[in-house]
Amino acid sequence: MPGITTFQNPKFFLKEILQKIDGCKIQLPDFQRGWIWDDSRICSLLASVSLSFPIGAVMMLQTGNPGVRFKIRPFEGVTENEWVEVEPELLVLDGQQRLTALYQALIKTGPSNTKNSNNKPINRYYYLDIERCLDPEADRDECVRSIPEDKIVRNFRGEVMEDYSTPEKEYAAGLFPVNQIFESLNWMNGYQKYWHQDGEKNEIFFRFHNEVIQHFEQYQLPVIEMNNETPKEAVCLVFEKVNTGGVSLTVFELLTATFAADNFSLRDDWEKVRSQFASKKVLENIKSDDFLQVITLLATMQRRRKFEGARSGPERAPAISCKRKDILKLELSDYQAHRDEAVAGFLQAAKFLRMQWIYSARDLPYQTQIIPLAATFAILKDKAENDTVRQKLSRWYWCGVFGELYGSSVESRFAKDVPELVRWVLEGADEPTTVHDASFARSRLEELKTRRSAAYKGIFALMMREGCMDFRSGQPIDVTTYYDESVDIHHIFPKRWCKDHPDHEHPGGYQNAVDSIINKTPISACTNRKIGRKTPSVYLEEIERKEQIEPGRLDEILRSHVIDPAALRTDDFRSFYEHRCEEIIRRIEAAMGKSVIREEEEQR
């Protein structure tokens, strides 16, 4: 079958490909799955093209082979009237998600159909912030704006915060709609007229045109074009091998290709690093990109220190950062210089987390918080063994957890936290921003019901750190019992009891409170099976009888979980709940080194 390896590698202008998609000269074989990319991926792709960064080759198949006939369909967003009678020239085998994103954002009439981070359908228009795009220090991903289909941005109360619903409002805000990229003259004329031919504004737009718009106009995509003699079996095999389900290229893969030019295999070296992390359960979810972020933090901090040590003019100091663009700037020498200390930093971070009674990745409040923690340990080295230093690190850590500060926009926080944390512990400088900004409200405690919350998992760890013992065995819950006894978070008052016992202030029973972390505690799997769905007074009596535990000793065990024994023995849920809530708050306050916000403060 000589046609199997027959292909060519032309380059097409992006505009030409998208116009052919719009005219249905390029379509999809029906076995391609649907359009799945979310809003953030579209923004990232637009940012890459605006910088002329490579976005990967596209694989296409020539049509016209009578032995290879597939049911075909157009790209999402092309209406039926436009394609129903058109015979395509090419079918896309790999690159559907990228091309659909670009077609919908740049060519399609109307908004792009995508989804948000919660997988809910949304419609969006995309804009480029003109002045931010021209700032060499700006992260291009942050220059791309995603705006609702009515072009009005509202807050959670529905109040209008930004309005770009007319061209004049776009001109005023300096936001360029990307669906005008290939027809920018009309928008430019309107922009100049709006600003009355202001020379400074004209200069800004001309720079934007030359530095950004032309990147789109001149962008070329490499295409692997399989000819129309390729057998169907080969087409299907190639599709299965090359299509990765729309997963974008990671910085690790891009850096791997860069380092390969210097005969260094980043992938092989990462496997060696992973083998050093293998015995640390808390590090089992560390990804290659996480490791590169730590190295980038170390490298950019070193550049900053060198600059400050040799400062002789007004030049701007290099930024401390670990965003995607910064990782891609890493040289092999940077990687090799900081690789071993980054490994040591992660291993010390794992040891530190174990001292906080966090033993596994599953119970880690924030995966992201390991990155600044590892970078800090890499810098401190042996100085981190000092008790005062560890106390400060512990306070910073728990402020991040209970302040719930590592859920989003984490790269900027990394860049602030690491140098601030180092100066705080070594030089006695001001508290890091994370410590200063962290706050926790009592009302939040009652809302913590699942592992999806960092604070929920944080309280689980705090209970073990404070020395809680298993109800039945009386053994302290440490790393040994955690694994040997399969310790997990379980209910104290069972769900059934709470449902069946209404209260005058809770007429529907205690369903709203039963799943709160206040009614849960670390218990071994065996003990949990034995107490089952029983009323507390019943299962406590059974524990005393079957395990031959004296009542006073069992009370001591309960207090180790900050449980009031009298309330539990009398099945007094209200007293139990209020007492334990207050005790947990005290432990949160001790961990954070600051007061929890009470109801009266929230109402001010």
Contacts of 432 (CB under 8 A, 6+ apart): 396, 416, 417, 420, 421, 424
Read off the pLDDT band of 263 (50, 70, 90).
confident
What is the widest separation between alpha-carbon atoms in the chain? 90
> What is the helix (H) or strand (E) element at residue 13, kind and residue range?
strand 11-13
Q: Tens of pLDDT along 402-414?
A: 999 998 768 888 9
Give me the numbers of helices (H) and strands (E) for the chain, helices first please. 30, 15
The single residue listed with the structure tokens 């792009």 is: 112
Among all chains, which residue has been given the structure tokens 């079958």? Answer: 1
Tokens matching residue 365: 């409040």
Bridge partners (DSSP) listed for residue 177 = 127
Domain ranges of the chain: 2-235, 251-438, 443-602
pLDDT of residue 338: 97
- pLDDT > 70: what percent of the chain? 87
Which percentage of the chain shows pLDDT scores above 90? 57
Residue indicated by tokens 């091309």: 99
Residues 521-561 have pLDDT tens digits of 888 888 888 787 788 999 999 989 988 999 999 999 999 99
**Residue with more model confidence, 411 or 352:** 352
Please give the Cα distance from 238 to 578 (Å, whole number): 63
**Are β-strands 72-73 and 11-13 bridged in parallel, bridged antiparallel, or unpaired?**
unpaired
Instruction: Convert the pLDDT of each residue in 314-347 to its tens digit.
Output: 677 788 888 887 887 888 999 999 999 999 999 9
Weakest mean pLDDT among 2-11, 165-174, 294-303, 484-493: 2-11
Q: Give 91-129 pLDDT, tens digit per residue.
A: 888 889 999 999 999 999 899 999 998 889 999 999 999
Q: Of the candidates 249, 228, 208, 277, which has an alpha carbon nearest to the alpha carbon of residue 91? A: 228
**CA dist 110 → 19, 36, 177, 292 (Å):** 16, 18, 12, 39
What is the model's pLDDT at position 233? 54
Query: Which tokens in the block code for residue 238?
Result: 């190639």
Distance in angstroms (rounded) separating the CA atoms of residues 76 and 88: 15
CA pair distance 514, 44, nearest whole angstrom: 42
| pLDDT for 1 | 39
* pLDDT for residue 300 is more than 90: yes
Q: What is the pLDDT of residue 411?
A: 85
Whether the predicted pLDDT of 213 surpasses 80: yes
Which range among 84-88, 259-263, 308-312 has the greatest average pLDDT? 84-88
pLDDT band at 67 (very low <50, low <70, confident <90, very high): low
Give per-residue pLDDT as tens, 131-185. Answer: 999 998 899 999 999 999 999 999 888 899 999 999 999 999 999 999 999 999 9
CB 442 within 8 A of CB 585: yes
For 603, residues 6+ apart whose C-beta sits below 8 A from its C-beta are none
What are the structure tokens assigned to 144, written together?
């791309």
